[in-house]
Amino acid sequence: MLSPQTLRKQLTILSELSEKQPGYYYIHGYFCGLACAPTLIKPSQWLPALLGDIHFESESQLKLNDALFQLYNQIMDEALNRCVTIPAQCKLSKKDIKVSLAEQQPLPQWCLGVLDSFEWIETDILTPDEFDIFADSEKRVLAFTSWQNIRSYCRWAGDEWERHALLERRMLGGSLEELIDVLRFGGLDDDNTDFDDDFVGENAMLMAFDEQVSESIDEILATDSPKVIDLIDTILEGFEAAMGPGFVEQNTGHFWLIHETRNYMLLRQKRAGLNFKNGNADKAIEELQTLLRLNPNDNQAVRFSLINMLICKGRWDQLQALLKQFDEPSLPVLGGKALLAYHRDPKGEAAAKAKRALLKANKYVVKYLTGQKQVKHFEGMYSPGSAEEAELYILEYGKEAWRSVDGSLFWLRAS
């Protein structure tokens, strides 16, 4: 598997060889748009639409297609979890929105890719409710294709339009996640996601409180001092008061699909991490388990940290249940399976098999777990099997989990 940096580099080369020369961020957005389609669009259909004619002159150039399909498969896999990850470079600068939305900047290029792939969605077969959600997503994506468009989209906010533009950017990924849920997984057919038409009127206080919190959320999430826990507690109490009676019970199961509760979810996740780092593992575990009940699809990926926290506390039965719930080839799950098998029988074949699966999935993980390599600057992007994936595993308390199980690191390093 290619690292994120190599992947981006190879796709840039591939783009330059093609007739249409779409660029990396356009390609990424195009695939995210394809992920929203209710039916699979075959590569034989989207490939010529994306690249146009392309002539390879060497075998090395031909292998550039591997990078294209690695990114495609990665985005499609994320969509199965109703998750859309927008590249970190597709940001909207608080200091100069106009520069961020210049023609060749990452964010407008990504959005243009999404919009062009939306043409594969047959809107005439959508139900009225599905079409409304599609149209809302399309308008939001279109807004970030140029400075003029975002000004027009937020014109209702008057002098406050820039602040609302930043808020809309934060909702961009969630808008596509909601579209995926509705068009691909029948979200509107599920009673649990059948939002009342009067949501805005009934939850005006929640919406106003969330908007107020949005102004400082990034700063809070970037703070690692335990002193911020008291502030988070206060904000969460404000959220719960604004939600009113019955809100949590009524909306349990799809909290992440409600834009106004995302900051609430993010703050609870942050509090869990701070509590764990400061010796309150039981509180952290309870918090993450609550988040999984509120959002079983786990768009936040709290399961990965939870796996390692359960190991640290020796809650093996709960770990086994969680691994069964999320039986996937992710590094934290494979690590959890290996430690569970080792705990049960260090010399057994099940433990040996689980260790082989872990080491096959990521060759870098041992060096990071044993301290031979240190996490330097994780940028939020990774591919399966990469060093970046191993770094993310460490950030999700993988090292703490292995150190908590006597002899496990020696066993892992042994041939």
250-266 pLDDT per residue, tens = 899 988 878 789 899 99
Q: What is the mean pLDDT of the chain?
A: 91
pLDDT higher at 28 or 297: 28
Question: pTM for the full model?
Answer: 0.62
Q: What is the structure's pLDDT at 190?
A: 47
Q: What is the structure's pLDDT at 381?
A: 63
Nearest to 170 by CA among 84, 80, 231: 84
Contact 408, 402 (CB under 8 A): yes
Q: What is the structure's pLDDT at 148?
A: 95
Residue 143: both structure tokens together: 């807004």
At residue 379 the predicted structure's pLDDT band, cuts being 50, 70 and 90, is low
Contact 25, 89 (CB under 8 A): yes
Q: Is the pLDDT of residue 200 over 80?
A: no
At residue 198 the predicted structure's pLDDT band, cuts being 50, 70 and 90, is low
On the 0-12 / 13-18 / 19+ scale of CB atoms within 10 A, 176 is buried
CA distance 234 to 310: 27
Amino acid at 139: K
Contact 253, 192 (CB under 8 A): yes
At residue 406 the predicted structure's pLDDT band, cuts being 50, 70 and 90, is very high
Q: What is the structure's pLDDT at 139?
A: 95
CA distance 406 to 415: 18
At residue 195 the predicted structure's pLDDT band, cuts being 50, 70 and 90, is very low
pLDDT over 70, % of the chain? 94
Contact 393, 332 (CB under 8 A): yes
pLDDT higher at 5 or 346: 346
Phi, psi (5° rounding) for residue 377? -155, 85
Taking residues 40-47, report their average pLDDT: 93
Q: Is the pLDDT of residue 170 over 90?
A: no
Nearest to 211 by CA among 278, 143, 160, 159: 160
Contact 337, 357 (CB under 8 A): yes
Q: SS3 sequence, the chain?
A: CCCHHHHHHHHHHHHHHECCCCCHHHHHHHHHHHHCCCCCCCHHHHHHHHHCCECCCCHHHHCHHHHHHHHHHHHHHHHHCCCCCCCCCCCCCCCCHHHHCCCCCHHHHHHHHHHHHHHHCCHHHCCHHHHHHHHHHHHHHHHCCCHHHHHHHCHHHHHHHHHHHHHHHHCHHHHHHHHHHHHHHCHHHCHHHCCCCCHHHHCHHHHHHHHHHHCCHHHHHCCCCCCHHHHHHHHHHHHHHHHCCCHHHHHCCCHHHCHHHHHHHHHHHHHHHHHHHCCCHHHHHHHHHHHHHHCCCCCCCHHHHHHHHHHHCCCHHHHHHHHHHCCCCCHHHHHHHHHHHHHHCCCCHHHHHHHHHHHHHCCCHHHHHCCCCCCCCCCCCCCCCCHHHHHHHHHCCHHHHHHCCCCHHHHHHCC
Contact 151, 239 (CB under 8 A): no
Residue 280: both structure tokens together: 């309150």
Taking residues 67-77, report their average pLDDT: 94
pLDDT over 90, % of the chain? 69
At residue 59 the predicted structure's pLDDT band, cuts being 50, 70 and 90, is confident
CA distance 3 to 404: 30
Q: Is the pLDDT of residue 122 over 90?
A: yes
359-374: pLDDT as tens digits? 999 999 999 999 999 9
284-296: pLDDT as tens digits? 999 999 999 999 9
Q: What is the structure's pLDDT at 192?
A: 41
pLDDT higher at 192 or 236: 236
Other CB atoms closer than 10 Å to residue 221's CB: what's the count? Answer: 16
Q: Is the pLDDT of residue 376 over 90?
A: no
- Sequence-separated (6 or more) residues with CB below 8 Å from residue 199: none
Nearest to 67 by CA among 151, 4, 122, 152: 4
At residue 61 the predicted structure's pLDDT band, cuts being 50, 70 and 90, is confident
Q: What is the structure's pLDDT at 146?
A: 96
Q: Is the pLDDT of residue 343 over 60?
A: yes
Q: What is the structure's pLDDT at 215?
A: 79
Residue 163: both structure tokens together: 């602040």
